[in-house]
Amino acid sequence: MNADAKSVAESVFRQESGRIIATLIRISGSFDRAEEAMQDAFASALASWPETGLPPNPGAWIAAAAHRKLIDQSRREKTRREKQDSLHYEAQMRSVSTSSDSDDAFMHFPDDRLRLIFTCCHPALGQESQIPLTLKTLGGLTTSEIAKAFLIAETTVAQRIVRAKRKIEEAGIPYEVPSPDRLPERLASVQAVIYLIFNEGYLATAGDQLIRTDLCTEAIRLARVLCELLPNEPENLGLLALMLLHDSRRDARLSRAGELITLEEQDRSLWHRGQIYEGLKLVEQALRAGAIGPFQLQAAIAAVHAEAKTAGETDWRQIAGLYEELEKCHPSAVVSLNHAVAVAMSDGLEKGLTLIDQLGSEAEMESYYLYHGARADILRRMNRHDEAVQEYRQAIALTTNSVEQAYLRRRIGEISSR
């Protein structure tokens, strides 16, 4: 039973901690008090479940127990703060009882995760704080897990989370969903944070791992929460679709030896068809809404790749057209680089290389390893081997991920052996 209790508690924490902590923060008005109450509730579960057996609804049990902990905290402190009235009001909902009926009643309170995610991603915090705070509160990741995922010191993560909480309190950042006039800008910030989490998992910035599945999974889960809470926002659907379509290729992206396999060379039978099917449906649903945004366009591009049975069947002309549309609504040098590659694959290598070279005048491109990697690949296809090797070496010097470095060195070796 001890093993069962621990396993169930861990499962509840992963799946429901975001919802529970969001409600506890609304009730208490404090991140720290809410987290302490939830931790105490899980400790109580591990102590009592082996003796009493697993409750019918473990998540509701944890939520109600944490709520009671908040009430106990308030009574011990004997405070008369504004939030105390809210605590006692919630207490009247029979959550003081230990019955399963009252536990279920707690879980029927309004879902507060939407307010929490906007609080965690408030623009006043900055992305370096938004990401760990979102993963800690809504994702349920520990400080140690976040530090390991992003290859930074645990103390650094802890400090960023503490600073973010302090900023929320000192700046009086409201625990609320923004008003309709501010929602688009703030929602874009939330989407960007979730996508940054996914990207770090999909293509790790540094270290000896290319993929961090736990971060990809967590970002997809957060996007599902966002779609659930704001189902009529097509960009939410586009974000989820984009991540599902990219993640569907995870098992084909590395060889058994841990070597990078490019999209062109991947064994497409290893792609996860269930994720592709869901992603394609989401793209269609989002585009039908008629409010096209950057995540929808990126998802549409990923969908074109997903629908191609072989690399040779890829509709590069359609991809180039989608990148043109993306440049209009979300211009950036990286988008332009991807458009240039698509042009090279659809309208000729020389034309694509000309567009890439035009981008080379921009300072940010010179220090961007994927710019040099893309240019090297086009030059390799054009049999301009000496120039390609030079570009591959420049890309190696600029990337900090050992898996990508090994791939680029392998390309140089293939050229040199000819």
pLDDT one-digit tens code per residue, 346-379: 999 999 999 999 998 777 788 888 999 999 999 9
Q: Count CA atoms closer than 13 A to 57's CA, side-chain side.
A: 18
Residue 82's pLDDT band (boundaries 50, 70, 90)? low
Spatial separation of the C-alpha atoms in residues 71 and 84, rounded to whole Å = 9
pLDDT above 70 covers what percent of the chain? 89
How far from 316 is each of 336, 346, 368, CA to CA, in Å?
A: 15, 5, 23
> What's the rounded mean pLDDT across residues 19-43?
88
Distance from the first to the final alpha carbon of the chain: 63
pLDDT reported for residue 287: 93
> What's the rounded mean pLDDT across residues 176-181?
83
* 3-state SS class at 249: coil
Q: Is 384 exposed, middle or buried (0-12, 13-18, 19+ CB in 10 A)?
A: middle
Q: Are 338 and 330 in contact (CB under 8 A)?
A: no
> What's the rounded mean pLDDT across residues 131-138?
87
pLDDT reported for residue 9: 83
pLDDT at position 207 over 70:
no
Cα 343 from chain centroid (whole Å): 29
Highest mean pLDDT out of 19-33, 74-88, 131-145, 294-308: 294-308
> What's the rounded mean pLDDT across residues 386-400?
93
pLDDT at position 130 over 80:
yes
What is the Cα Rg of the chain in Å? 25
pLDDT reported for residue 103: 46
Reported pTM:
0.77
pLDDT reported for residue 163: 93
> What's the rounded mean pLDDT across residues 245-263?
93
Highest mean pLDDT out of 102-106, 120-124, 233-237: 233-237
Among the ranges given (164-173, 208-217, 347-356), the one the predictor scored with the smallest mean pLDDT: 208-217
How far from 184 is each of 62, 121, 190, 202, CA to CA, in Å?
A: 34, 13, 10, 26
